[in-house]
Structure 1
Amino acid sequence: METIHALHRALEAGQHGDELRRFFTSDAVTVEHPNLIKPSGAQTPLDDMLTASRKGTELLSSQKYDVHSTSHCGDTVIVRLTWTGVLRNGDQLVAHIAQFAEMRDGLISSIETFDCYEPFRNASTIAV
């Protein structure tokens, strides 16, 4: 469980790109189920995840992960959290998230995420 919490703390601290590689296996993927930002969902391999994290730091002035509960079953870590991101223009995004992280040798091999975004206050906040 510590690895997923350490990843959240690193993201909050503004780490991105290759700075995050240490948390993942080389074949790691993220599966995002459909949501307001990605209506079709996505399956993203590690290198693309790291690239996206760099783009995220360009869009966000800060982000926070408020973890409500964490549990595990075998090699799966389950996290229920609220994510708050503040865009550089001051707009705020809030998502209520359930993450399922598969662990291998202490590293994340996959993250499956269900992101439930609160309605955007400004329709132009996010370009899909």
Structure 2
Amino acid sequence: METIHSLHRALEAGQSGDELARFFTADAVTVEHPNLIKPHGARAPLDEMLAGSRKGVELLSSQKYDVHSTLRCGDTVIVRLTWTGVLRTGDQLVAHIAQFVEMRDGLIRSIETFDCYEPSAFTMAV
């Protein structure tokens, strides 16, 4: 679970791209289920995840991960958290998230995420 918490701290500190690769296996993937920001959901391998993190740094002036609970079952860690992101425009996004994180050798192998965004000026425009 420490790897996941360290990843959240790195993202909050504005790290992106190759700076985040140390948390993941080379074959890592992320699955994002449909939500207000990505209505069709998405699946991305590690290189796309890292590229997406660079785009996130360009869009966000800050982000915060408030972890409410974690539960480990074998190689799977279930994380319940609230993510708050402040866009460079000043608009704030808030999502209540459930993540299912598969670990291998202390690294993240996959993240499957269910993001529930609160209404905001940004999400209403999407």
TM-score normalized with structure 1 length = 0.95
Count how many residue pairs are aligned between Structure 1 and Structure 2: 125
User: Gapped runs of 5+ residues in structure 2?
Assistant: none
Partner SS for 1:35: coil
Other structure's SS at 1:109 match: strand
Q: 1:8-50 CA distances to partner (integer Å, 9 max, x unpaired)? A: 0000000000000000000000000000000000110000000
Give 1:7's aligned residue: 7
Give, as a single letter, the amino acid of the residue that structure 2 aligns with 1:79. V
Alignment map for 1:27-38 (pairs within 5 Å): 27-38=27-38
Which consecutive aligned stretches of 4+ in structure 1 deviate over 2 angstroms post-superposition? 121-124
Identity %: 82
- Distance, in Å, in 2 between the alignment partners of 1:40 and 1:121 is 20
SS of residue matched to 2:121: coil
Gaps of 5+ in 1: none
Distance 2:15 2:80 in 1: 22
Q: Which structure features the higher share of helix residues?
A: 2
TM value normalised by structure 2: 0.97
1:121 shift after superposition: 2.4
TM-align CA RMSD: 0.9
Quote the Cα distance in structure 1 between the aligned partners of 2:120 and 2:26: 35
Q: Which moved more, 1:91-100 or 1:115-124?
A: 115-124
Measured after TM superposition, the shift of residue 89 of structure 1 is 0.6
In the TM superposition, what is the alpha-carbon distance from 1:120 to its structure 2 partner? 1.9
